[in-house]
Amino acid sequence: MKPTRDHITGLLLAGGRGMRMGGADKGLQMLHGEPLAVHVLKRLAPQTGALLISANRHPEAYSALGAPFDAKVVADTLADFPGPLAGLLAGLRAAGGNYLLSAPCDSPWLPADLAERLAHALASNEADIATVTTIDAHGQTSLHPVFAFLRTSLADDLSAFLEAGERKVRAWYARHKTVEVVFTDERAFYNINSLQELADLQRD
């Protein structure tokens, strides 16, 4: 049975160090008058039940941004910014339902049908994880692993994986039945990596 919206917790991943942005907190950077995090929350909220924000810096700022969406801020349980898997673990632990939909804070155009398509793929393939692959006009594919739909029952396994010193998202996915869902709109998964990219988009 395909998961319904009420069974899905949305997770905004905003816990990184923003190294390619000179250490700036990505989710708090402005695009067209609103923080990037708000752009993503607006797209996640209609697709999920509860919402979480994974943030390791500026929790008060993220709490304020999340308030209109009733989004709770959660921090990594591991120190030193160990990567997106730590944010996923925090989300899996805090989620109230059986499923978690994650998206990074620097991708403001994620699709309105992201949850629906990933949930359908997970259910129909009896998978543990569904993630995104895009294909361009030349047939080249790109994997976007932090856009993911996961069973929250994976939390203990992910915790053990991280405690063993592992950090690679794809390596952890390989331990489970994972299905890749193809999207043809590459722009929907575009992530803003630098302040210059952000400045360029402001002029669009």
Domains of the chain: 5-202 (3.90.550.10)
Strand 141-151 with 8-13, pairing: unpaired
Whole-structure pTM value: 0.92
pLDDT for the residue 193: 74
Q: pLDDT tens for residues 21-30? A: 557 899 999 9
Where does the chain have alpha helices with state H? 36-44, 59-66, 84-94, 114-124, 155-163, 169-173, 195-202
Q: pLDDT tens for residues 149-197? A: 999 999 999 999 999 999 999 999 999 999 999 999 988 998 887 667 7
Alpha-carbon gap, residue 49 to 22, rounded angstroms:
34
Say if CB 26 and CB 14 are below 8 A apart: yes
Alpha-carbon gap, residue 195 to 198, rounded angstroms:
5
